[in-house]
Structure 1
Amino acid sequence: MRLLMMVPACLLLAACGKEEAAPDPVRPVLTVIVQPQDVQRLGRFAGSIQARFESTLGFRVAGRIARRWVDVGAQVKPDDILASLDPTDQRNQVRAAEGDLAKVQALWINAQADARRQQALYDRGVGAQAQLDVAQTNLKTTSATLEQAKAALRQAKDQLGYSELRSDHAAVVTAWQAEAGQTVTAGQSVVTLARPDIKEAVIDLPINLAEQLSSGLEFLVASQLDPSITAKASLREIEPQADAATRTRRARLTLAQTPDAFHLGTAISVTLSSSVSPRSELPASALLDKDGKPSVWVVDPQQKTVSMREVKLLDRDAATVTLASGVQAGERVVTAGVNSLKPGQKVIVDEDSAP
């Protein structure tokens, strides 16, 4: 009887042992697929397309502007007239120079005749050497005065020509700094011309970013009206002094190619990126500390189980972590429920959670 009573007790204990050894439950988890990146995005900035070469022209003589011949936006060819001064003063100077030249020419003709007469008298023996010397000296002096008068007339004509402001190359008028009727001085800025054949992208960068620019940076320029129109660019120059109001430094970019849609003044957006060593970015919730070492749960796609793997942490913030190594491209990493998993535990993967 005792033996028969012990049998059910043993069976009960065996059943309890089997319940304690029950496998861990299958847990649903959220995951992402590792996608290593070798390019670091540094930001996007607004800018515009501008001409690389601009020139500000002014009259070479002073005067009152009589007329502006072109407006802002006009395309001009070499030697096209842009503006003109009232030429009255310059014309009077030409007339005065012409009168002086005529007077000196008459004196020069008279000096030539006198020198010939004195030379003939001296050759016949009836003229004095002193008179011949005086006549020849007078001829040389008058000849020099004649050359001076001719130069003065050329200068006066040049001054008259300077009363017209002309373009010295094909360009687009981008700004006027003076109006018709305004009196300007010699060299004062009057009009700004831009060469449309060579264009570049111009953006303003924050000081901290401008100081970290390196030769490995890549610039992608896109039209704001049509982002599908893009062009690669490289840094040509950056202004050494920051703008006091905006605390930014202006950067000028050379375009590798210039789409037809990139007209002067076109609004653009420029994306800055830099080549870096391969790295992976994951949600911050994927990282856990195991014995003081950063680790993640990696899902076995065949067995649907997880295993813990130590990783090398490169950077982290409140939302993301950047890993230098430890995971491979295409692997699936758990991003939610990491604290309730065990090595080898089966999981249900939410496929939709993958990017």
Structure 2
Amino acid sequence: MLERNIDAARAPGFEENRMMFIKTQKRVAVALLSMVAVVSVAACGGSDEAVDASANEAPNASRYVRVAPVETISSVAPLPFSGTVTASSGADLAFQTSGRVARRVVEVGQRVQAGELLLVLDNPQLAPALESAVAREQELQTRYDQAQRDQRRVDGLFASGAATREEHEQVEANAQALKAALSLARAERARAQALLDETRLKAPFAGEITAVMVDEGQIVAPGQSVLALSGESHLELEIGVLARMLPVLELGQNVTLLQFGEALDVHGEISRIATASLPGALNRVVVRLPQDARLHAGMTLGVALPSTPQQTLLSVPMRAVVDIGLGAPRVFQLREDTVEARAVQLVRILGERVLVSGELAAGDLVVIAGLSGLQHGQRVERVK
């Protein structure tokens, strides 16, 4: 049996028939694999795995790719500023005279009514000064009263011819001088009384104590802030900005509020912009705050302001950008049934997207799947 098989293998034409059979089997296998690949792509609905599998085809073959549109996004470069929240009717309270804090009646966070006593100042010179002013006023009042009586008496004598014109004018001038001196004495007494009253600091309106800057026993100067009082009105935040930022700020503009560096889910509104009169000085910007339980007078709050004019940038999916590590990032733009490589510059990464600049426009389609081995000008088929 073995000898017959060997003899058959040596027969003329046997080797040629065997090679033809092998080639036929290979063609059938390739055809079957191609059909399976096409059916798999259709069945998967254009999955990324099927798209990536097309990368193994011949370079000139049509590639399956998935695309996404180029989008636009408004970009600004925000800068953080911080300040202390105050009420719109808030005020820093101060004594108008110097002295030692004798008694502090209130604490931070305490609510007070208009006219309520807040601080008491001790100035040993004020009470004697008031007593002296009162005594001076009383003395001049007595002398002026006497001068008026003298003037009425001389008026009668002058009318009857018993007093000369010179005597009449002299008495009248003396009364006028005493009247002027009495007016000055009254003003001095009122000033001394006001200074003494200033040693008892009272709330000018109802509100909440947001800051206490002095302790009992501390010496304070005239005009030195000792308490901060916020009225019962809306809250606001005041900050100072440079002149170069004013062109991007406007009344009514919404701004992001920051607490501990994190953005809050509420926004403020620019309510006032005051330009500084001196070159190089900070410009006053007031931000009106919304009604929110987390916000209260006296707290430190931040606000993010744009530092450059708002501009529109292009955004593409992160996976659309290739060759980032080579320092030559690019994307493949779909042009009918081919793709073209477009060089781009990366501006900023935003989650799964990246801001880019380059020869792209909003609405252009860029390849996001099927990028492996993709070449400029290669024919592609878009997978929905």
2:282 equivalent to 1:258? no
Match of 2:233 among 183, 191, 197: 197
Q: Where does 1:128-139 land on structure 2 (aligned, <5 Å)?
A: 128-139=164-175
Given the superposition, is the C-alpha separation of residues 120 and 200 from structure 1 closer, same or farther in structure 2, using an over 3 Å criterion?
A: closer
Match of 1:103 among 124, 134, 139: 139
Partner of 2:356: 322
User: Which shifted more, 36-45 or 10-19?
Assistant: 10-19
The size of the alignment, in residue pairs, is 328
What TM-score does the superposition give when structure 2 sets the normalisation length?
0.61
2:245 equivalent to 1:214? no
Contact 1:47 1:204 in 2 (8 A): no
> Distance in 1 between the 2:261 and 2:182 partners?
67
In structure 2, stretches of 5+ residues that fail to align are 1-12, 38-49, 54-64, 277-281
CA deviation vs aligned residue, 1:194-249 (integer Å, no higher than 9, x gap): 456343457999x9xx9698359963336679988422545966999xxxxxxxx9
Shift of 1:267: 6.8
Partner SS state of residue 67, structure 1: strand
Partner of 1:36: 71
Partner of 1:186: 222
2:184 equivalent to 1:148? yes
Counterpart AA for 2:176 = K
User: Which shifted more, 49-58 or 171-180?
Assistant: 49-58
Counterpart AA for 1:260 = A
2:108 equivalent to 1:72? yes
Given the superposition, is the C-alpha separation of residues 87 and 234 from structure 1 closer, same or farther in structure 2, using an over 3 Å criterion?
A: closer
Given the superposition, is the C-alpha separation of residues 71 and 113 from structure 1 closer, same or farther in structure 2, using an over 3 Å criterion?
A: same
> Distance in 2 between the 1:218 and 1:135 partners?
73
- Percent identical across equivalent pairs? 16
Match of 2:267 among 231, 245, 249: 231
Contact 2:210 2:297 in 1 (8 A): no
Match of 2:198 among 151, 162, 165: 162
User: Which shifted more, 69-78 or 336-345?
Assistant: 336-345
Shift of 1:69: 1.9
CA deviation vs aligned residue, 1:276-307 (integer Å, no higher than 9, x gap): 43622233663369xx995427699xxxxx85
CA deviation vs aligned residue, 1:154-177 (integer Å, no higher than 9, x gap): 222222222222333444323223
Counterpart AA for 1:28 = D
Shift of 1:75: 2.9
In structure 1, stretches of 5+ residues that fail to align are 241-248, 301-305, 350-355
Match of 1:282 among 301, 309, 317: 317
Partner SS state of residue 287, structure 1: coil
Task: Give the alignment's Cα RMSD to 1 decimal.
Answer: 5.4
Counterpart AA for 1:258 = Q
Contact 1:107 1:142 in 2 (8 A): yes
Contact 2:339 2:376 in 1 (8 A): no
> Distance in 1 between the 2:147 and 2:284 partners?
68
Match of 1:308 among 307, 329, 339: 339
> Distance in 1 between the 2:188 and 2:113 partners?
31
> Distance in 2 between the 1:147 and 1:348 partners?
98
User: Which shifted more, 163-172 or 57-66?
Assistant: 163-172
> Distance in 2 between the 1:39 and 1:145 partners?
73
